[in-house]
Structure 1
Amino acid sequence: MLDTILGPLYYVVSWIIVQFHTLYSLVFDKDSGWAWGLSIVSLVVLIRICLIPLFVKQIKATRNMQALQPKMKAIQERYKSDKQRQSEEMMKLYKETGTNPLSSCLPILAQSPFFIALYQVLNHIAQGKVVGVIDAELLESARNAHIFGAPLSVKFMDSAAKVEALGASLTDVRVVTVIMIVLMSASQFFTQRQLMTKNVDLTVKTPFMQQQKMLMYVFPIMFAVFGINFPVGVLVYWLTTNVWTLGQQMFVIRRNPTPGSIAFTQRQERLRAKGKIVEAPEEIEAKKAAEAARANRQQPKRQPKAKRQLAGTGTQTSTGDEKTSLEKKQPEGTKPKPAGGSRSAKSGQRKGGPQRPKHPTKK
């Protein structure tokens, strides 16, 4: 069934590989792994060059989805009890903003048929079956081609007898496949990490960021699980496309980063250093004021325990000091006035001072 559907694509993929193999046979031995391996790598490069327009659409769609996350979340909260109305509002939002949620998946979807076709072509080669334009002579040459001691058509899970029949050892095959799987997983991880750490708008916190962070760990695990079931030639294809994606993303992030991201700030600083961006006088003054305030601001120092305890008794100490200072201010030969001085002085005059004369009594 699958051969019937993808049969025409088998001819396309096999024809491209054969053409590159003919070209590389002028430099390398036609039966060598270099001739066949480089043919697969060239197939990847050709496909990815054709997919560059779709990749640009993917970048734009991803940015639009990031920008729409707050509005999408608001719609979900507003119509959480009415799923139909929620879907209608989502579609309306996509239409108004010109966003297609599937655009971010276009490069993967477009590349998948070629990936499946290559897998089937190499699987036919491993089984000794003629496929596409690969005749019996090319079939024998491809079966005996080795990359670092591993035939292109074998898998990690193949038996030792099958591997030895192709003139290789099971240890070499498994070492090569494990190294390729690790490199595939690492390249996928760094690709996703680069996207998360450098090309995400940090001013907006959205669920999209959490999803991307989760995919950063899920994809490498998927590569490790499925990689042991792919022929070495497919692993070469997959590793090459991952490395291409990593390099292509680095180029795009450096030249056209997402506004509000770390990469965007770094790009603005580079352009400013080259004199391609001239700041307004208000921005320069505001930046200088912020830097001056940052420089003058002092961080509080942590005091030792003894000083902290002394600070707790500061009220009592200050009160004693005030009393001492008051005593020093009194002139010599006088005593300091007791608390409530005015009332005490009046009472003292009544007791010790001259008495008011009494009225004479009538006799």
Structure 2
Amino acid sequence: MDFLSSIFNPLVQALEFILGFIHDIFSVVGIESYGIAIIVLTVIIKMIFYPLTVKQVKSMKAMQELQPKMKKLQEKYKNDPKRLQLEMGNLYKTAGVNPLAGCLPLLVQMPFLMGMFYALQSLDYGGDPTFLWIKNLSNPDPFYILPVLSALSTFIVQKQTASSSGSAQMQMQMKIMSIVMPLFIGWISCNFAAGLVIYWIVNNVMQILQQWWMYRHEDTTAKKE
């Protein structure tokens, strides 16, 4: 972990500086709260990466919808790897889907995710570490409210992204993951600094809103049909 921390150290320091700057701006108008600063910085980062989020979510949806066709090709050409590779390439081309399109945006955003993790997990909040019911943002939430919210928001994000297409086995795997992952996130959030968990929750809420905005027309069309 120390090795990873040293790799992201320049970004961590930059994020801590920006967070402190936002905190100081709000302090001028009488709102001296690192909790508010964390929320504002998270919203700013999510808005900056919104175009990448669009590509990532739509690519994931498209790949999920192609799963039934991909499975048929795998069964049909299971003894001919070269033909399978060719047919899969044609399928992606016909559907206008790039398998890497969902990974690249995530890779671009990953350094910022790691940077925020290290910045908020070890940040010295100075003289005002309190926020709402939390006495110190450097410590875990003693009432476990934030871990519950982190698990719930993670569940909603996964539910939004999940597709109803695919084999029964795949649907079962997705259903299991939609339960296991939120529970895991909630569990580890019990030991993380409250400031870091606030970031995760706000990040999820922004993801939920952005995905709703992306697919609002599709939802309206589906209801009419």
TM bin (shorter chain) = 0.7 to 0.9
Higher relative contact order (CA 8 A, sep 6+): 2
Equivalent runs, 1:3-18 vs 2, <5 Å: 3-18=5-20
Contact 1:192–1:212 at 8 Å: present in 2 too?
no
Q: 2: distance between equivalents of 1:87 and 1:218?
A: 33
Equivalent runs, 1:248-259 vs 2, <5 Å: 248-257=210-219
1:170-217: CA deviation from partner (whole Å, max 9, x where unpaired): xxx421xx1111111112223333455xxx56xx55465444433321
Q: 2: distance between equivalents of 1:265 and 1:92?
A: 29
Shift of 1:93: 2.9
Unaligned runs of 5+ in 1: 127-138, 156-172, 258-262, 270-363
Shift of 1:41: 0.7
The alignment of Structure 1 onto Structure 2 pairs a total of residues equal to 221
Aligned to 2:114: 116
Shift of 1:219: 2.0
1:273-325: CA deviation from partner (whole Å, max 9, x where unpaired): xxxxxxxxxxxxxxxxxxxxxxxxxxxxxxxxxxxxxxxxxxxxxxxxxxxxx
Normalising by structure 2, we get a TM-score of 0.82
Shift of 1:53: 0.7
Match for 1:5: what amino acid?
I
Match for 1:52: what amino acid?
Y
Aligned to 1:247: 209
Aligned to 1:305: none
Contact 2:54–2:214 at 8 Å: present in 1 too?
no
- From the superposition, tell whether residues 102 and 181 of structure 1 become closer, same or farther in structure 2 (CA, over 3 Å): farther
Aligned with 2:222 (options 255, 260, 265): 265
1:183 maps to 2:183: no
Shift of 1:149: 3.3
- From the superposition, tell whether residues 233 and 108 of structure 1 become closer, same or farther in structure 2 (CA, over 3 Å): farther
Contact 2:151–2:183 at 8 Å: present in 1 too?
yes
1:309-355: CA deviation from partner (whole Å, max 9, x where unpaired): xxxxxxxxxxxxxxxxxxxxxxxxxxxxxxxxxxxxxxxxxxxxxxx
Aligned to 2:188: 226
Contact 1:150–1:232 at 8 Å: present in 2 too?
no
1:78 maps to 2:76: yes
Match for 1:183: what amino acid?
L
Shift of 1:68: 2.1
Shift of 1:84: 5.4
Contact 2:56–2:106 at 8 Å: present in 1 too?
no
Match for 1:4: what amino acid?
S
1:97-137: CA deviation from partner (whole Å, max 9, x where unpaired): 331223334554433322221222234435xxxxxxxxxxx
1:141-188: CA deviation from partner (whole Å, max 9, x where unpaired): 3xx511223311123xxxxxxxxxxxxxxxxx421xx11111111122
Normalising by structure 1, we get a TM-score of 0.54
Give the match's secondary structure for 2:138.
coil
- From the superposition, tell whether residues 205 and 218 of structure 1 become closer, same or farther in structure 2 (CA, over 3 Å): same
Give the match's secondary structure for 2:102.
helix
Identity value in percent: 33
Contact 2:155–2:182 at 8 Å: present in 1 too?
yes
Shift of 1:63: 3.5
Contact 2:57–2:161 at 8 Å: present in 1 too?
no
How well do the aligned residues superpose, as a CA RMSD in angstroms? 2.7
Contact 2:34–2:129 at 8 Å: present in 1 too?
yes
- From the superposition, tell whether residues 228 and 87 of structure 1 become closer, same or farther in structure 2 (CA, over 3 Å): farther
1:213-252: CA deviation from partner (whole Å, max 9, x where unpaired): 3332122122123212321110010010111122222232
Q: Which has the higher helix share?
A: 2
